[in-house]
Amino acid sequence: MVLEKELLPYSEWLSGLGWDSALFRFGATVLVFAVLALVVGFLVAMVRYGPLKAGDLTYRVVTNGFKELWQISPRRVMALAGLAVKESLRRRVLVALVIFGLILLFAGWFLRTDNPEPARLYLSFVLTATTYLTLLIALLLSAFSLPADFKNRTIYTIVTKPVRAGDIVLGRILGFTFVGTAMLAIMGVCSYIFVVRSLDHTHAVDLRSVENIPDESGEVIGRRGRTMIEADHFHEFEVEADGRGIAFSEYGHSHDVEQQGDRYAFASPQDFLRARVPLRGKLSFLDRQGSPVAHGVNVGNEWTYRSFIDGGSAAAATWTFDGIDESILKINPEDETQYLPVELIVRVFRTYKGEIERGILGSIQLRNPDTKVKSTVQTFLAKDVSIDEHRFERQQYNPADNQPIDLLEDLVTKDGRVEVIVQCLDSAQYYGFAQADCYIPLPDASPLWNFIKTYISIWVQMVLVITIGVTASTFLSGPIAMMFTVSFITLGFFRDFFVKVAEGTQVGGGPVESLVRLVTQRNLTTRFEPSPAVQLMEALDRVFKGAMQSIAAVLPDFRSLSTVNYVANGFEIPANAIGQQLTVCLAYLVGLSIIGYFFLRTREVAK
C-alpha cells in the first residue's frame, strides 16, 4: 500500500522535540487564542463602558468562565444531550439511514465485479459513502440546532433552568455524537454485510479440464483442473487424494475445495478481507557507486513517491528493521525449520525491452548493521507492484567464507536490528522503492476489528464536524454556521494545498495573484513585469497569506484522518494512528467547547 506520510510513534508525535510536536502546537494555539480573546474582549468592552469597567468585566468574565467550566455537571450535560437526541430524531435524522440503504441497494449498478481487486473497490466505496453521508448529517444537525432554538425562542425554556452555557454547548455536542454514533454503528454493520455478501461467490468446475496428478511411480495422488468463470475470473485448483484441496489465489482470494464423488464443492472466498500487520523499517539508498544518497534516481515520474535504483551497479535500497527476535520468526510446517519472512513490493522500470516474458532479476540479502556480516544472496524475478514473500532460513551461510551462520545470532544485532538489502541485477533496468514497500509480516490481525477501527476514524471526523458546527452555531445563524463549517471541512480536506498557498510554495501565487491570472488569462508560471499594481497585488497577497497561515494552524487535516486506504489495501490500521486521531479529536473538543462557551455567554439570552 502507498503510505505517503510516515506515521510517527505516538509519544514522538505528541511531545517530540521541536515545533512540530502536537502538544507544542496545541499549547501555542491556545495561548494565541487566549491572548487574542482577552485583548479583543477588553477593547470591545472599553469602547462600550470605558477602561475601568472594561477591565472589571473582562476579569469577571474570565474568572466566572473558568469557575463555570469547573462546575460543569455531567448530569445536566447528559440531560441536555438527551434533549439533543430527541431533537435530532424529531428532525428525521433517520432518513439518512434510508438514503444509506438506497445507496447500498443500488451500489451494484456502479461497481464492476471484474476488477482484479474487488475487495479494495467495494471497501473504498462503502467507506467513502459512509464518511460523506455521516459528515453531512453531522453538519446539518450541528449547524442548525442552536440557531433554530434562538429563532423559536425555545432556548428560553432551557436557560430559565439552572444550566450554564458550557452545559448547553457540551450537551449538544454529546447528544449529536450519540445520534451519529448509533447511526454509524448501523451503517458499519450494513456495510460489512454488504461487502462480505457482495464478494461472496463459489465456482463450478470445468469438468473437461480436470486431470489426475500422478507421482513418480505413476500412482494418482490428486487431481487438478480449472473452474468455470464466475464473477469475471476463474481459478486453477488442486485436490489431494483425501479429496481436500485449494483453488489458487486469483483476484485477491482463494477457495477451499472439497471433492464429493465426481463433484467439487468450493467454499466461500478467503483472504478478500485481510489485516496484514507489517513491521516497517527505515529506507536508505546507495547510488551506482555505492555511496549513500537521500533518494534514488527519478525515472521521469511526476509522482515522486518511489525512487529508483540502477540495475547491474552498486546501487541498492536498504531497509533497517528494529525489534527482530525469535518471536518474529515463522515456522515452516513442512520441515519445522524457522525462517524470517520479508515481503517486498518492487516497481520495475525498463529502459529497454529485454526479454518480455521474463521479469527483471534482482537480489535480496540480510546484513548485520554492526558487523556487516551478510546472509546468502537470494535472487528473484521481480513481480511488478505485487507483494512477494522472501524467506530467510534461520541457518544461513556467510558468502565471505561459506561458513554456516545463525540468522538471529550473526545477522541481527544484540538490540534486534537487521538490514535488508535489495539490488537490481539486470543492467540498465531499474527497481523503484518507497519506504512502505518492504516489511516483515507479523501474524494478521482480525479484519473485522480493522474494519471497526476505520469506523472509529470516521467517527472522529464526525465528532470534529459536530464540534465545529455547534461552536459556529453559538454565534452565527444556521445557514452561516453551516457555510462556516463546510468551509472548515473543505479547507481541511485540502489542507496541504491551503498550507502551500499560505507559505507561498504553490505555483501561481496567493489568492489575489491567482485571481489576476484567472481574469487576465495568464498561465501559472508567467512572470509579472514590476509595476505599482503588481506591488499592490503582492502586498495584498502577503496580508491574505498571513491570515491563511493563522487559519492553517487550526485546520484539522481531514485527509490524514481517513484510514480507508489501510482497510482497502488489506493492512492493519496501526493503533498509533487511531490514538493520534482520538487525541486530535479531544483537543478540538476541549478547545472549541471553551470557545463555544464564551461565545454563547456573549449572547444576551444565555448569560
Partner 1 sequence: MNERTSYYRKIAYGVAIAALLFPLSLLSSPATVTDRGGQLAQMREQYDLGQGDIGEIDPASETIKLATLGLRGVAVNLLWEKANYYKKTEDWTNLTATLEQLAKLQPNFVTFWMFQSWNLSYNVSVEFDDYRDRYYYVREGIEFLQKGERYNRDNFKILKELGWFIGQKIGRADEYVQYRRLFKNDEQFHPADRTLEERDNWLVGKEWYLKSLDAAITKGKGIGRTSPKIAHAAPAKSQMSYAEAIEEEGFFEKAQQAWALAETEWLEFGELVIDHSTGVKLQLNHQPQLEKEVERLKAALEELGPGIREKIAAEKRDKLPEELRATLDAPADQRTPRQNELLYEAEAAVAVSHAEVAQRLAQENPERSRQSRQLASELDDTERKLSYTINYKRDSNFDYWLTRTQFEQTADALDARELMFRAKQAYQDEADPQKAKELYERGFQHWRKVFDAFPTLLSDDGNTPDDVLYFVKDYREALDQLDETIPADFPLWVLIEQFDTERSFAEELQEHQERQGKIPEGDTPEAETPADGTTPADEPTSAEPPQEDEAPVEPPAEVTPPAEETQPQPE
Site residues for partner 1, window 580-599 (CB under 8 A)?
Answer: none
Of 133 and 589, the one with the shorter C-beta distance to partner 1 is 133
Q: Which of 13, 125, 194, 488 binds partner 1 (CB under 8 A)?
A: 125
Instruction: Name beta bridge partners: 266.
Output: 257
The whole-angstrom separation of Cα 183 and Cα 136 is 13
Site residues for partner 1, window 232-251 (CB under 8 A)?
Answer: 232
Residues of the chain by 3-state class (helix, strand, coil), percent to 5: 50, 20, 30
Of 464 and 564, the one with the shorter C-beta distance to partner 1 is 564
Q: Considering only 114-122, 310-318, 499-507, 514-522, which stretch makes contact with partner 1 by CB under 8 A?
A: 114-122
Q: Which of 5, 75, 92, 112 binds partner 1 (CB under 8 A)?
A: 112
Site residues for partner 1, window 465-504 (CB under 8 A)?
Answer: none
Of 431 and 488, the one with the shorter C-beta distance to partner 1 is 431
Q: Under the criterion CB under 8 A, does residue 305 sit at the interface with partner 1?
A: yes
| Contact by Cβ (8 Å): 246, 257 | yes
Give me the least distance between CB of 121 and partner 1, in Å please: 6
Q: Under the criterion CB under 8 A, does residue 453 sit at the interface with partner 1?
A: no
The whole-angstrom separation of Cα 219 and Cα 239 is 15
Give me the least distance between CB of 3 and partner 1, in Å please: 12
Of 24 and 305, the one with the shorter C-beta distance to partner 1 is 305
State the DSSP code for 272. S
**What are 599's three cell numbers?**
461565545
Q: Under the criterion CB under 8 A, does residue 19 sit at the interface with partner 1?
A: no
Q: Which of 115, 363, 398, 413 binds partner 1 (CB under 8 A)?
A: 115
Q: Under the criterion CB under 8 A, does residue 508 sit at the interface with partner 1?
A: no
Q: Which of 66, 106, 132, 497 binds partner 1 (CB under 8 A)?
A: 106
Q: Under the criterion CB under 8 A, does residue 9 sit at the interface with partner 1?
A: no
Q: Answer left, alpha or beta for residue 416, where phi above 0 means left and psi between -120 and 50 means alpha.
A: left
The whole-angstrom separation of Cα 392 and Cα 420 is 11
Residue 369-408 contact track with partner 1, rule CB under 8 A, x = bound: -------------xxxx-----------------------
Give me the least distance between CB of 597 and partner 1, in Å please: 38
Phi, psi of 483 (to 5 degrees): -60, -45
Q: Which of 68, 117, 230, 238 binds partner 1 (CB under 8 A)?
A: 117
The whole-angstrom separation of Cα 444 and Cα 120 is 17
The DSSP H or E segment spanning 486 is helix 478-493
Of 68 and 388, the one with the shorter C-beta distance to partner 1 is 388
Q: Under the criterion CB under 8 A, does residue 559 sit at the interface with partner 1?
A: no
The whole-angstrom separation of Cα 80 and Cα 363 is 65
Sign of torsion over alpha carbons 334, 336, 337, 340: positive
Give me the least distance between CB of 4 and partner 1, in Å please: 9
Q: Which of 303, 334, 389, 523 binds partner 1 (CB under 8 A)?
A: 303
Site residues for partner 1, window 327-356 (CB under 8 A)?
Answer: 348, 350, 353, 356
Residue 196-235 contact track with partner 1, rule CB under 8 A, x = bound: ---------------------------------x--x---
Q: Which of 7, 111, 445, 515 binds partner 1 (CB under 8 A)?
A: 111
Give me the least distance between CB of 116 and partner 1, in Å please: 7
Of 85 and 195, the one with the shorter C-beta distance to partner 1 is 195
Q: Which of 21, 124, 477, 506 binds partner 1 (CB under 8 A)?
A: 124
Whole-number Cα distances in Å, 405 to 136, 371, 394: 60, 13, 8
With 0-12 / 13-18 / 19 or more C-beta atoms within 10 angstroms meaning exposed / middle / buried, residue 515 is middle
| Contact by Cβ (8 Å): 177, 462 | yes
Q: Which of 45, 54, 121, 472 binds partner 1 (CB under 8 A)?
A: 121
| Contact by Cβ (8 Å): 45, 54 | yes
**What are 346's three cell numbers?**
518492487
The DSSP H or E segment spanning 80 is helix 74-90
Q: Under the criterion CB under 8 A, does residue 360 sit at the interface with partner 1?
A: yes
Total length of the chain: 607
If DSSP states are collapsed to H, E and C, what string results for 30-60?
HHHHHHHHHHHHHHHHHHHHCHHHHHHHHHH
Q: Under the criterion CB under 8 A, does residue 363 sit at the interface with partner 1?
A: no
Count residues near partner 1 (CB under 8 A): 30
**What are 500's three cell numbers?**
502551500
Q: Considering only 28-36, 117-125, 155-163, 366-374, which stretch makes contact with partner 1 by CB under 8 A?
A: 117-125
Give 195-230 as a DSSP string.
Answer: HHHHH-----B-GGG-EEEE-TTS-EEEEEEEBPPB
Whole-number Cα distances in Å, 473 to 156, 219, 476, 593: 16, 79, 5, 12
Give me the least distance between CB of 232 and partner 1, in Å please: 7
Give me the least distance between CB of 187 and partner 1, in Å please: 19
State the DSSP code for 311. T
Whole-number Cα distances in Å, 295 to 2, 365, 427, 439, 457: 17, 20, 19, 19, 32
Of 124 and 363, the one with the shorter C-beta distance to partner 1 is 124
Q: Considering only 102-110, 171-179, 321-329, 490-498, which stretch makes contact with partner 1 by CB under 8 A?
A: 102-110
Q: Under the criterion CB under 8 A, does residue 357 sit at the interface with partner 1?
A: yes
Give me the least distance between CB of 311 and partner 1, in Å please: 13
* Count of Cβ atoms closer than 10 Å to residue 364 Cβ: 21
Residues binding partner 1 (CB under 8 A):
2, 106, 109-112, 114-117, 120-121, 124-125, 229, 232, 302-303, 305, 348, 350, 353, 356-357, 359-360, 382-385
